[in-house]
Amino acid sequence: MITVEASSATILNLPRLLYIGDVAVESTTGGSALLYRLLQNYPSDRLCIVEGNITKSQADQRLPKVAYETISVGSNRLLHSRFVLPYRSCLYLSARWRSRQLSKLIETFQPDAILTVAHGFSWLTAAELGAQHKLPLHFIVHDDWPSHTVVMHQLRNLADKDFGTVYRQARSRLCVSPYMMESYQKQYGVTGNVLYPSRAVDVPEFSQPAEKTGRNSTSLVFAYAGSIHIKGYAESLVSLASILEAAGHRLVIYSGLTQSSIQHLGLDKPNVVVYPMVPSQQLIHTLRKDADVLFVPMDFDQEYRSNMEISFPSKLTDYTAIGLPLLIWGPSYCSAIRWAQDNPGVAEIVEKNEISALADSVKKLSENPKYRLQLATNALTKGVEYFSHAKVIEQFYQVITQLS
């Protein structure tokens, strides 16, 4: 934990930072929330945000007093048309050219460094701008961009090569997990820095698990909060719901699902309740009050193996702040399971893609309140160690001040 004095000294040395990216910087969910938290206390007069027009932030969700600009990336309508594949390919090939739109901003803002994130294609714009103006590039990687970007087949090798080129070009490479850093070091021959997702600066901190955690109960509430954009996540939730229904337990889900999508996914079960997403602070208090176990599904599908191996589930940042036991279901190679194994006793883990294995873990959790209490206590401790805002921000500031 950094002291006030050290923090103040570091802030005085922070560079004038220009963010360019296709992830909006706003206090919502996912990657947007991670960037918002990372820049939440950055001096507003030394920060400028440039977002692509397709994923532009909402004004009321932005960092206060920070200048926001927009770069024209493309047409949202065409990205949702039958021409999406060739159109995305065109956006990829023209990404470096779009740096021309920002020449005037370089003159007016006069940045000392550029920050970008590997999502969409504007990170290529940021890299080109950095090269043109000899500005250090700080490259954040949350997901394995090469394995899941959508371009025409003929361009995949070129896209992979471009990612490797920019990864090597960057002054700092901020990887979301040690597993990503190690994998990329083998592939690209350069080292990176591990920067786990951060909690918000004002996240509630509990010294003890929720009081009910160590009590006997015949009916438990399992909870999941987050998007369900991968088929495997939905299938995992359906499997869990079926197990819980047979055992007399319930599942609550906080996600942006419509009624039709709930039915389509098979989550319209009598023991399942789906709520809209809520702000993280409210969610933490709500789950602490209403839930008993927090569920972290990972995907067993080989199509997503690369991303499951090296990316990191950002929901663990807030999950570990709540004071409830964690249940992680995923393949042995996925980052969530490996993190839990590196920190024994932080979660109940299920590595087999078998309903019976998940059912055994549900039974173990439901019948042993002392075990639930132990897991919850360990999760609180490890959450502070890995994801506290002060620790993550200290690491981020040290990297950009030393390498800018």
pLDDT of 7 reads: 52
* Whether residue 257 sits in one domain with residue 183: no
Contact 337, 330 (CB under 8 A): yes
* Whether residue 292 sits in one domain with residue 232: yes
Beta bridge partners of 50: 20, 69
* Whether residue 109 sits in one domain with residue 92: yes
Contact 340, 317 (CB under 8 A): no
pLDDT of 6 reads: 38
Residue 258, domain member (yes or no): yes
* Whether residue 231 sits in one domain with residue 177: no
3-state secondary structure 287-325: HHHHCCEEEEECCCCHHHHHHHHHCCCCHHHHHHHHCCC
Residue 320, domain member (yes or no): yes
What range defines the domain where residue 343 resides? Answer: 211-386
Residue 95, domain member (yes or no): yes
Residue 313, domain member (yes or no): yes
pLDDT band at 401 (very low <50, low <70, confident <90, very high): very high
| Burial of 133: CB neighbours in 10 Å, binned 0-12, 13-18, 19+ | middle
pLDDT 10s digits, 297-344: 999 999 889 989 999 999 999 999 999 999 999 999 999 999 999 999
The mean predicted confidence, pLDDT, of the chain is 93
pLDDT band at 230 (very low <50, low <70, confident <90, very high): confident
pLDDT of 404 reads: 62
Residue 203, domain member (yes or no): no
pLDDT band at 350 (very low <50, low <70, confident <90, very high): very high
* Whether residue 235 sits in one domain with residue 353: yes
DSSP assignment of 113-154, as one string? Answer: EEEEESSSSHHHHHHHHHHHHT--EEEEESS-HHHH----GG
* Whether residue 392 sits in one domain with residue 382: no
Residue 122, domain member (yes or no): yes
* Whether residue 288 sits in one domain with residue 189: no
**Mean pLDDT across the stretch 85-96?**
96
Residue 2, pLDDT > 80, answer no
Number of domains, the chain: 2
pLDDT 10s digits, 177-229: 999 999 999 999 999 999 999 999 989 889 999 989 989 888 999 999 988 87
Nearest alpha-carbon partner for 25 in 48, 1, 2: 48
* Whether residue 63 sits in one domain with residue 139: yes
* Whether residue 395 sits in one domain with residue 381: no
* Whether residue 225 sits in one domain with residue 91: no
Residue 10, pLDDT > 90, answer no
Q: pTM of the full predicted structure?
A: 0.90
* CB proximity list for 97: less than 8 A, separation 6 or greater: none
* Whether residue 36 sits in one domain with residue 140: yes
Instruction: Read off the CATH number of the domain in which 294 is found.
Output: 3.40.50.2000
- Where b means 16+ CB within 10 Å and e means fewer, 355-393 reads eeebbebbeebbeebeebbbbbbbbbebbbebbbbbbbb
* Whether residue 354 sits in one domain with residue 232: yes
Residue 11, pLDDT > 80, answer no
Residue 258 CA to residue 344 CA, distance in Å, equals 38
**Mean pLDDT across the stretch 259-285?**
91
* CB proximity list for 208: less than 8 A, separation 6 or greater: 323, 377, 380
Residue 206, domain member (yes or no): no
Residue 348 CA to residue 59 CA, distance in Å, equals 40
Residue 312, domain member (yes or no): yes
pLDDT of 186 reads: 96
CA dihedral defined by 4, 8, 14, 16, rounded to 10 degrees? 120
